[in-house]
Structure 1
């Protein structure tokens, strides 16, 4: 008599243990794209962004309120309401914290404690930008005497990275009207260019030219 085998067949394990881990990328807000528009009469908030999410739609409305009524409190009030909605839905949006600081500064007439808190939050969310860097650097160096030591350190670090990897740092420095802020930015960028010249001989002449333009 032939006995039937009762041995269980071994199943081969599925590749990677049968598990596939697919990372999910969450969009927490769209940073405002245009941060370089500055009027000759003073530092103003840049134009509206393209709405892609609910938070971005509120950002666009806030930007439109600031652009259409730059000198009136109703515009600032509308912008503050829309910007608060951005932070409610996307609290990690650096441009919204920066906008809050700007609105508060325009309302109070100075960079007060609330404006400094919002500016500090913009650095906590995005310490090196980069999307907000160009406008934020102009904003902080225009208000250099009013900044806290923590914000100053963050701004200098952001400026170093901006000067090393982005274009237009010389023009940025030359656009700063505040004497103390302009001097601090100019010295920082000069050190960046000098370090580049010392470590990379091929870019030494380019660095010297940049320093001469400042």
Structure 2
């Protein structure tokens, strides 16, 4: 038996993830054959099972990867804003707009929910904690009404997550995105402190 180096193992894992992302995004989880996927990646089913356990484990790893990239994109929006309120508002809007991106729509908002039951508890905690930090900052600056920051973060994140799934449903499209964005503005006006 040939022993593979750590670098080779990481390359195999990365190739399987990249192939799975492409195939899950175009064909969907249910229609993806593990034999076809591993053949496209140039590996055996054994490599997939070694790195991810099974098809469901591979989907979970792909979702984690996309979630991490999404988080980076959202953080960049917040960081680039000169005005903290506008950064928060743009970040919330971008989250809903991402529901229209085919890869996020199919893999994260449809297949992940159907197969994995949605985001992992760790991912949800991370999102709420990130939102809480933003809200605490806005409260300290007097831009939003005083409230329990964790409770408000949980409600805002929960609203965004459910709205994104609603937008991503089959037949949702641009009309639902427009409705979601308009409703988001109403929600955000409700927490903004009057000047």
TM-score using structure 1 length: 0.28
- Greater share of helix: 2
Structure with larger Rg: 1
Which one has more relative contact order, counting CA pairs under 8 Å at least 6 apart?
2
